Homo-oligomer: A and B are copies of this chain.
Amino acid sequence: MPQAEQDRSVFRAIADPTRRAILDRLRKGPAPVNELASAFAQSRPAISKHLRILRELNVVSERRQGRERVYQLEPAELKDVADWILPYRGFWQQSLGNLKSYLENE
């Protein structure tokens, strides 16, 4: 049987720590590739591949500016992650509440 269709969701995009770091950097504002790549001990083409994945999943956008390509955060897709994690928040908030009442009853 052929492998199940691959997951092309934003969850794959953020699965890699390098890509998460790129996104974290872009929160501070747009940046060209060289600046992004300078933060990592990887070759620049490796960063280009990460950027491509982020681009294809629409988590970043790119605009050409002279000979540079400036990347910008496009956080809309990340909302899927926030929406997914949302119902879990109740769990550890509840645990904190339990701890609180536990401590109060001691």
Taken residue by residue from 22 to 56, chain A's Cβ proximity to chain B (1 for < 8 Å, 0 otherwise) reads as 01000100000000000000100000000000000
Contacting A88 at CB < 8 Å: which of B7, B17, B27, B84?
B27
How would you classify the secondary structure of chain A's contact residues: helix, strand, loop or mixed?
Answer: helix
Complex contact B7–A11 (CB within 8 A): no
- A-B CB contact pairs (8 Å), 25 listed: A4-B42, A7-B15, A7-B16, A7-B17, A11-B14, A11-B15, A11-B17, A11-B20, A12-B15, A14-B15, A15-B15, A20-B84, A27-B88, A27-B91, A75-B92, A76-B92, A76-B95, A78-B85, A78-B88, A78-B91, A78-B92, A81-B81, A81-B85, A82-B88, A85-B85
Interface size on A, residues (CB 8 A): 28
Query: How many copies, total?
Result: 2
The residue of chain B having its C-beta at the shortest distance from the C-beta of A74 within the complex is B91
A17 to B76, CA, bound (A): 20
